[in-house]
């Protein structure tokens, strides 16, 4: 399991690494997360995120 997850903003395409240890509740097979808006693009609306495994396959979010 890699120590970092790749975060990517769908709006501006900016990406960065996210330390997996910050959120230990993320499933171990999550390798990348796409968000609606990053901290630069945020308009105050509620965003959503999509999780992907290392092969690029979408992972269902089942945590509360």
* Residue (of 43, 19, 33, 18) closest to 63 by Cα position: 33
Domain boundaries, the chain: 4-59
What is the tens place of the pLDDT at every residue in 1-60?
568 999 999 999 999 999 999 998 889 999 999 998 888 888 787 888 999 999 999 999
pLDDT of 63 strictly over 60:
no
> Rounded to whole angstroms, what are the CA distances from 60 to 6, 33, 42, 50, 51?
17, 12, 24, 8, 7
The whole model's pTM is what?
A: 0.81
Which tokens go with 20? Answer: 């997996």
- What pLDDT score does 32 carry? 97
- 12 C-beta neighbours (distance < 10 Å), count: 11
- What pLDDT score does 1 carry? 56
């Amino acid at each position: 399991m890699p120590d970092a997850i790749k975060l990517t903003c769908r709006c501006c395409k900016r990406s960065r690494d996210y330390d997996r240890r910050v959120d230990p509740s993320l499933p171990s097979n999550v390798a990348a997360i796409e968000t609606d808006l990053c901290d630069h693009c945020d308009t105050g609306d509620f965003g959503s995120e999509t999780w992907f495994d290392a092969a690029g396959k979408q992972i269902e979010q089942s945590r509360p």
